[in-house]
Structure 1
Amino acid sequence: MESCRVLVIEDHALVREALVRALDQLGMPCEQAQAACAAEAMALIESGQEFDLVLTDLMLPDMSGFSLVSVLAHRFPTIPVVVVSALADEASVKRALKAGAAGFISKALSSDRLVESIRAVLEGGMVTPEFQQAPATVQRSPRRRGIDSLSEQYGLTSAQTRVMELMVEGRTNREIADLLGLAEGTIKVHCSAILRALGVPNRAQALVVLARQGLRA
């Protein structure tokens, strides 16, 4: 990933600023947006702004972080949401992952480990704390590697890549629009761009090309 856009959700200004400073150390251009509560975060996402990653605390003033993770995972399933919290006990980690989080990062981590964990998620991995003081574990699925490879091969944007994933799952334009919180016309524009990149005239042939390269539902 050559650049990224990250939304940081944290009600404590000093902690929020520390996370933003950590993002500046990723070694890639990173545009950050900030929200102090769940309502502000949802407003930013629903406005049509595109994000490659959401970082959220669990203790928010207007909604449980677990509930927010669940809402985002349901409504915007292609945007990875990672919890960054001081509540890094095993029960909290499992609950966050069950709600749909793409990872869990303890606030007790050093800045270097924090940056390493965020970078791993942006590369398609999942980060979780080990409870015997071991380093964070990173797992990257073969499907995720395949999607990233095809996206790079065809020069797709992050938004086009998200739409392509949902196309492969058999979603209609309306379903994709609902899942991503975008207008159906916007999805059609992304689909047209994907077809041009693949060099095919229609969605059916696009799915054939993608299946031949290992990307299936």
Structure 2
Amino acid sequence: MNPCRVLVIEDHALVREALVRALDQLDQPCFHAQAASAAEALALVEAGQEFDLVLTDLMLPDMSGFSLLSVLAHRFPTIPVVVISALSDEASVKRALKAGAAGFISKALSSEQLIAALRAVLRGDVVTPDLHQPAPVAPRPIRKRGVEPLAEQYGLTTAQTRVMELMVEGRTNREIADLLGLAEGTVKVHCSAILRALGVPNRAQALVVLGRQGLRA
């Protein structure tokens, strides 16, 4: 199993160490880099270091975490960014998700809850402070025939499956985001996960693969 590459952005050393310890308790090996500020984090990413996940606080010494989310979503849209913050009120959560966060985890969690939330994030789920379960997405009135077996075959999460259905309908990322109540950056993360699962380089080839297996608009 390839190690998961995680960047932890947190200016408090004790909190950073706690997050790193939690990462070490996951079911897969993790390589982790640490940054105490937005500037340090951006320097690491811009230097070409590849990350599968970024964990960031909102209260950073040199830049608002919301601003950092926007920068990362614009410049590095394929890297999922999850907020870990003491500010877990509804307004902050919604603002973070709108800015491009792929999830929001409260610092008030126990270590066991934190590990469970991180596992969900690494599966591709979107977690929020509401029990830190995958965030519900808008229900679809009609499920396409055969979508569940395909989702199971390729190991897709519930959120990824719904994104896949809308991809097949020819929806854009913005349309999918609006329909499912997600940030466009989160939809991009799900689309990238779907392409990896299907083993194809782009959306057009994904639609060909899915069409051959009977999933069509």
TM-score bin, normalised by smaller chain:
0.5 to 0.7
Name 2:3's counterpart in structure 1.
3
| TM superposition score normalised by structure 1 | 0.66
- C-alpha distance in 2 between matches for 1:137 and 1:40: 31
Q: How does 1:149-160 map to 2 (within 5 A)?
A: none
State the shift of 1:212 in Å: 3.4
Deviations 1:85-107 (A, max 9, x none): 01111111111111010110000
Name 1:123's counterpart in structure 2.
123
State the shift of 1:10 in Å: 0.4
| TM superposition score normalised by structure 2 | 0.66
Task: Evaluate the alpha carbon distance shift between residue 34 and residue 169 of structure 1 in structure 2; reply closer, same or farther with a 3 A threshold.
Answer: farther
- C-alpha distance in 2 between matches for 1:49 and 1:127: 25
- C-alpha distance in 2 between matches for 1:43 and 1:72: 12
Q: What amino acid maps onto 2:107 in structure 1?
A: K
SS of 1:125's partner is coil
Name 1:175's counterpart in structure 2.
none
Q: How does 1:176-187 map to 2 (within 5 A)?
A: none
Name 1:79's counterpart in structure 2.
79
Name 1:43's counterpart in structure 2.
43
SS of 1:73's partner is helix
CA contact (8 A) 1:124 1:140 kept: no
List runs of 5+ in structure 2 lacking aligned partners: 138-146, 157-166, 173-184, 186-195
Name 1:26's counterpart in structure 2.
26
Q: How does 1:1-217 map to 2 (within 5 A)?
A: 3-130=3-130, 135-139=131-135, 208-209=208-209, 212=212
Q: What amino acid maps onto 1:29 in structure 2?
A: P
* Overall identity of the aligned pairs, in %: 72
- C-alpha distance in 2 between matches for 1:204 and 1:64: 37
State the shift of 1:78 in Å: 1.6
State the shift of 1:3 in Å: 3.0
Q: What amino acid maps onto 1:122 in structure 2?
A: L
The farther-off stretch of 205-214 and 29-38 is 205-214
Task: Evaluate the alpha carbon distance shift between residue 128 and residue 209 of structure 1 in structure 2; reply closer, same or farther with a 3 A threshold.
Answer: same
Q: What amino acid maps onto 1:110 in structure 2?
A: S
How many residues in Structure 1 have an aligned counterpart in Structure 2? 172
Deviations 1:56-85 (A, max 9, x none): 000111110001011111221221100000
Q: What amino acid maps onto 2:134 in structure 1?
A: V
Deviations 1:165-191 (A, max 9, x none): 9xx999xxxxxxxx9xxxxxxxxxxxx
Supply the RMSD in Å over aligned alpha carbons. Answer: 3.7
Q: What amino acid maps onto 2:4 in structure 1?
A: C
List runs of 5+ in structure 1 lacking aligned partners: 153-164, 171-178, 180-193
State the shift of 1:207 in Å: 6.2
